[in-house]
Chain A
Amino acid sequence: MNGTPGAPAVSVRGLVKKYPLVRGYRELLAHPFRRRFVTALTGVDLEVGAGRCYCLLGPNGAGKTTLIKILASLVLPDGGEARVAGFDVEREPGKVKESIGLAVGDERSFYWRLTGRQNLMFFAALSDIPSARSRRRVDEILALAGLEEVADLRFNAYSTGKRQMLAFARALLTDPGILFVDEPTRSLDPGAARKIRAFIKKDLVEGHGRAVLWATHNLAEAAEVADDLAIIDKGSIRISGRTSDLTRGGRIPLQEIYDGAVEPEEADGPVPDERRRS
């Protein structure tokens, strides 16, 4: 069986991540062995329950994408522990991948000269879906994402909204219980963004009981979809909890909570760290 019985969908404890800074020629010559790091995550704790939509809200460079990449086992953490479906992301990356789907707002992650269906069939084979089942599964998922009519068009003919829906379709190919989405409505018009939000919240979370970890910097979006919420800034979680508790049942605007948690003047990017990686 996929997953550990009783385990939360995602469990993160004291997660730390530092990236090495790229050095210039002068610094390389002057200090060839000294490395500088930038702190991306510092002691992050969070827990996503099954069947919940958890929004990770924060400014650009806050550490949202780094956290999702660590959870998807694309980046290794430097400290702490992260478990997905009960599996350790560092020691059991294969089992983690069997439990998750990842959809990012990046149009370049498909083969542009292949059709939507051909793209999905290729990723179905790589996702270990049996050949006898893959055609049916791709048809099902294209229908779920509302892409039947454009399924046999080349990806380069898709609108931005349809490309994003195809990214969701790919993430759902293996019917994962846990879905990571990173800025899924970035660069979408309001109508397409609303459709994506409804698809994730109504169909996937409420309809199919999926756990979704959703990274966004859009307050209105977070307020609309989040069952649980964490505000992250400069690599640390500033505030977290059930959205209804944080907003006192909607009486406190999310903007007010956000402004209280994030330092706006330094919200544009991470700060370099002189320390060596521990």
Chain B
Amino acid sequence: MKAFPGIRSAERRPGLLRKMGAFLHRDLLEAASYKLSFIFSVVGILMSSATFYFISRLIAPGTASLAAYGGDYFSFALIGIAFSGPLGVFQEGLPQVVRSAQVSGTLEALLVTRTPMPIILFGSSLYPLVFALLRTAVQIALAVAVFGMRLGHVNTPAFLVVLILTAVCFVSLGMLSASFLLVYKLGNPVSWFFGSVSGLLGGMLFPVAVLPPWLRGVSFFLPITHALEGLRLSLLSSTTFARVLPSIAALAVFAAVLLPLGFWTFRLAIRKAKRDGTLTHY
């Protein structure tokens, strides 16, 4: 009996890559329909780079706490600023996607497709992530070309390992964040905590070495501290892989704890929201 026809299973399964491509294409089409936005974002990159360039001229080169990163404050600060974008998207991409789909009314239509919810959410945060990484690359390239930023001999393997582990840690925090959003809608302690303390204690604009010892202790337990340390060492200080290893090890421990925790809470949150009937509420 052919009671319930449909496109046959054997013909389906176009694969994860095509689905990710579909999300990227959708978001690119939407972004392209807002023509002024991209121009302003490029101007914004130039303005923020120029600001830190001029601040850096006030700070004498050779400051001891900057020696490990090539001794140049502009390069130090620019790495912090440039990577804050992708780190923010890693962490806030998922909750923002959930919120945006709830508010726009598309979440229900997405959830009734044959694509599992985690793939929908990761696919939807792909474009902001790719855009943020491109923005970082452009910002660094502009800083090198226009403001004379000095990159060391980039340790590419170390840089990639640090970047991947950083992504895993921050996406896991994003899953925790999205879990709160699914259940409580607004009021997100994960975003609040990491958003408010990371700028101060994570070494975004100054080395954590200048913090009082007790605050340095706190910063040690923030993934951003080790992420920025590893990124700066691998990009600025012409260093060996072994020298970046402490940052990599710390990030690996964070990832090993946060990733399963993120998946577990996210799964619980989806089930609770489905049970309460509030999955698409905001």
Contacts and interface: CB of A to CB of B under 8 A. Distances in A.
Interface of A: 1-3, 5-7, 9, 17, 19-20, 40, 50, 66, 69, 72-76, 78, 85, 94, 97-100, 102, 104, 106, 108-111, 113-114, 118, 121-123, 125-131, 133, 170, 174-178, 211
Contacts of A69: 277
Given A9-B4, A109-B109, A111-B26, A129 B116 contact: no
A276 B21 CA distance: 46
Contacts of A5: 1, 3
Given A106-B105, A114-B30, A125-B19, A19 B3 contact: no
B114 A133 contact: no
A174 B279 contact: no
A3 B8 CA distance: 11
A173 B21 CA distance: 19
Interface string B3-34: 11111110111100011011001100110010
Contact of A126 (B1, B7, B22): B22
A118 B5 contact: no
Given A6-B1, A74-B108, A130-B11, A98 B18 contact: no
B280 interface: yes
Interface string B189-206: 000000000000000000
Contacts of B110: 126
Nearest to A170: B109
Contacts of A133: 7, 11
B112 A102 contact: yes
Contacts of B29: 113-114, 118
B57 interface: no
Given A19-B277, A75-B277, A2 B14 contact: no
Given A19-B277, A72-B112, A106-B105, A131 B18 contact: yes
Contact of A2 (B6, B22, B30): B6
A168 B221 CA distance: 51
B114 A99 contact: no
B30 to A, nearest CB: 5
Nearest to A123: B113
A19 B273 CA distance: 11
B104 interface: yes
Contacts of A178: 4
Of B1, B6, B106, the most chain A CB neighbours within 10 A belong to B6
Given A66-B277, A69-B277, A131-B18, A126 B114 contact: yes
Q: Among the interface residues B33, B110, B112, B275, which one has the most CB atoms of the partner chain A within 10 A? A: B112
B115 A126 contact: yes
A244 B277 CA distance: 35
Nearest to B114: A128
Given A128-B13, A128-B14, A174-B6, A114 B26 contact: yes
B19 A126 contact: yes
Given A19-B276, A74-B108, A126-B19, A98 B11 contact: no
